Amino acid sequence: MLYIYNNMIYNRIKLLRTEKGLSRKDLADAVDVNFQTIGYLERGDYNPSLELAFKLAEYFDVPIDAAFSPRPFLSLSEQLKAQKKD
């Protein structure tokens, strides 16, 4: 059963944005929202609408579940450990 912790959708927007070398304003303009919405998303203070989530995933060219998740994302070291086990 899917349980959304603390009524929160986790995301990797900050990571994806900094990887691309974009400012919040650049990203906001690209997906047609205010920079504050991006800021709130990155801080985890706001859950995006489906439309915005799809727009962001499409903009970064990643599957939507790589950018958003109902569970906290694993850290890099946890991911490496999991890969080793496999």
Partner 1 sequence: MMKSIFKMFEPTEMQFTRQAISRLKWASIFSFPFPVLTAWLFIAKSNGPKEITEWIVTVLMLLSAAAFIYVCGSRLLNRAWSPDKYLDESEIARKRQSGSFAFIWMISIAMVVTLIWLIWHYIGWPIPDFANRSGFGFQVLAVLICWAFIIQAYKMSQMLVPLLEDDEIAELTKTDKKYWVKFALWVGMAFTLTLGLGAFDKSYDDGAKARAIEKCGQGNVKSVSTKGLFQTTITCSNE
**Interacting residues toward partner 1 by CB under 8 A:** 24-25, 32-37, 39-41, 43, 45-46, 48-49, 52
Please say which residue, 49 or 79, places its beta carbon nearer to partner 1: 49
Distances (CA, A) of 7 to 2, 3, 23, 56: 12, 9, 27, 20
Count the helix, strand and coil residues of the chain and give each as a percent rounded to the nearest 5: 60, 5, 35
Please say which residue, 25 or 71, places its beta carbon nearer to partner 1: 25
Please say which residue, 16 or 38, places its beta carbon nearer to partner 1: 38
